[in-house]
Amino acid sequence: MPSLGKPSHDVLCHFLAEQSEREFSYLDVGATATSPPVGFVADQTRIRLGEGESTFRKAIAALQGWKHFQLGWVDAWPLETPIKPDETVVVMGRALGLWWLNSCRVIYVVDESGPICRFGFAYGTLPKHIEKGEERFLIEWDQHDNGVWYDILAFSQPNYLMTRVGYPLVRRMQKQFGRDSAAAVFRAVNEFDSIPEIGQSTNWG
């Protein structure tokens, strides 16, 4: 449901309430924890955030505050949505001069300690989303080399005819989201440092 201006609070509330009652729009729910299903495009974005426990904790806080979605042209609502299974969130994106509303639900949370500590979550698309599929956002702290990384893994395919017609634009925006999200998390933990190389790869299912 596109609009010229950023959707109002009432519109967002209605959209969230309606979508919260819906089922996922695809079958392979939770597949970001194993391997992306056949027939979907899988994208991965990865950036080194820095080193040490302090960076790891700051990055976790950034995820919990949805800072990886506060990109200017993309936003999540409400920002107070807790990172836990079954929570539904609205993702707003601006393209072609319009704001588009999309709905997702948190599927699982990762919270692991050990030689490699991990924190993150995955969400899946609901019917009112221009794509269908899943995305996992993960912070990793490898205590062998003390490095902290932010990793995005997503699989998707078009959900509407207009998405298929405009698929080249959709793909550019998906890649741009990965880069901008990586930069946003990096800035959240490294306020004054320049952005390092952002790795991106794609596998066609």
Q: What is the pLDDT of residues 83-133, one digit of tens each?
A: 999 999 999 999 888 899 999 999 999 999 999 999 999 999 999 999 999
Question: Which are the contacts of 91, defined by CB distance < 8 A and separation ≥ 6?
Answer: 69, 74, 75, 76, 77, 101, 102, 103, 104, 129
pLDDT, averaged across the chain:
94
What is the reported pLDDT for 163? 82
Q: Is the pLDDT of residue 164 over 90?
A: no
* Structural domains of the chain ordered from first start: 2-204 (3.30.530.20)
Q: pTM for the whole thing?
A: 0.95
What is the reported pLDDT for 42? 96
Which band of pLDDT confidence, cut at 50, 70 and 90, is reported for residue 166?
confident
Q: What percent of the chain has pLDDT over 70?
A: 99
- The 3 state secondary structure assigned to 119-151 is EEEEEEECCCCCEEEEEEEEEEEECCCCEEEEE
Lowest mean pLDDT among 63-72, 110-119, 162-171, 193-202: 162-171
Q: Which residues are 190's β-sheet partners? A: none
Which band of pLDDT confidence, cut at 50, 70 and 90, is reported for residue 1?
low
Region 21-25: mean pLDDT is: 97
Q: Is the pLDDT of residue 21 over 80?
A: yes
Q: Which segments of 50-166 does DSSP mark as H helices, in order?
A: 52-64, 161-165
Which band of pLDDT confidence, cut at 50, 70 and 90, is reported for residue 193?
confident
